[in-house]
Homo-oligomer: A and B are copies of this chain.
Amino acid sequence: MEKLSIIKIGGNIIEDEISLNKFLKLFSNLKGNKILVHGGGKRATHIASKLGIESKMVKGRRVTDPETLEVITMVYGGLVNKNVVAKLQALGTDAIGLTGADINSIQSDKRPVKDIDFGFVGDVKKVASKSINKLLKADFTPVFCAITHDGNGQLLNTNADTIASKIAVGMSEIYDTSIYYCFELNGVLEDFNDKESIIKKINSENYQKLLKEGIISDGMIPKLDNCFDALNSGVQKVHIGNTSMLTKENNIFTTITL
């Protein structure tokens, strides 16, 4: 099986021109099949506020009313995605920017209303891995933003981490697929006060131990549960660290396997 790398970057990289340019160079130099997934975060909040639209967050998730969905479509699908594509083209990477509506690549269900109405938020239902593979086979590099669709003409705001993981699961039918989650830290920390205390390897066995001992807690638990879900669904490896894990020089990051 050929290899495929899915790289996810968050708002902290997107919002800082220098970090973004540095990252895109690393991404461009990465050999082999690759897919980029990006969030957009604060940029959308900023433009929404300029347009007089208040951003409502519940449990760290954006409540997406129709006006907010418009802003997200503009910022994630337009401003951020197309500038990333133009920058990648300048670096010689033949990028193509996508939402989940493009080539029907990611279909979602609008999240059902229970305690909270999240509005136009999508829970991923289906990834069109064969269609995405047509782009890879044509030597294009897909760049996904955090938008999906319901197949009935409705765009839906969708968490970028989830998009990366669902695409990886879908593509693992065809490729030996790894995910790289790029964030501020160098990896999962053993001691939150010591940024150098990277846990280099996590597997299902020592994960239970790390949980029991309280070393992994709070916000990291859903993130890691999400990683194990992906691994249990066919993804080969998940890496968590800062963007320099894409280089061969840096081997200090966290690798998660079953």
A85 to chain B, nearest CB (A): 5
Given A103-B140, A138-B134, A82–B90 Cβ distance below 8 Å?
A: no
Minimal beta-carbon separation of A149 from chain B (angstroms): 5
Chain B residues near A101 (CB, 8 Å)?
Answer: 82, 85-86, 89, 95, 97
Contact flags A88-105 to B (C-beta < 8 A → 1, else 0)? 011000111111011110
Of the listed stretches A30-38, A73-81, A171-179, A184-192, chain B binds A73-81
Binds B, one of A152-160, A201-209, A215-223: A152-160
Give the shortest distance, in Å, between A163 (CB) and chain B (any CB).
15
Q: State which residues 53-69 of A face B: CB under 8 Å.
A: none
Which residues of chain B come closer than 8 Å to A153, judged between CB atoms? 86-87, 89-90
B residues less than 8 Å from A50 (CB atoms): 51-52
Given A73-B82, A73-B83, A74-B74, answer yes or no on A149-B89 (Cβ-Cβ < 8 Å): yes
Using A74-B78, A78-B73 as known contacts, say yes or no to A97 and B102 having CB atoms under 8 A apart: yes
Docked-complex contact B149 and A86, CB < 8 angstroms: yes
Within the assembled complex, what's the spacing in Å between the Cα atoms of A254 and B155? Answer: 37
State which of B74, B82, B140, B154 has its C-beta within 8 Å of the C-beta of A155: B82
Residues of the B chain whose Cβ atoms lie less than 8 Å from the Cβ of A85:
99, 101-102
CA distance A229 to B118 in the complex (A): 52
List the B side residues contacting A73 at CB < 8 Å: 78-79, 82-83
Identify which of A51, A86, A152 gathers the most chain B CB atoms within 10 Å of its CB. Answer: A86
Write out the residue numbers on chain B whose beta carbons fall within 8 Å of the beta carbon of A96.
Answer: 96, 98, 102-103
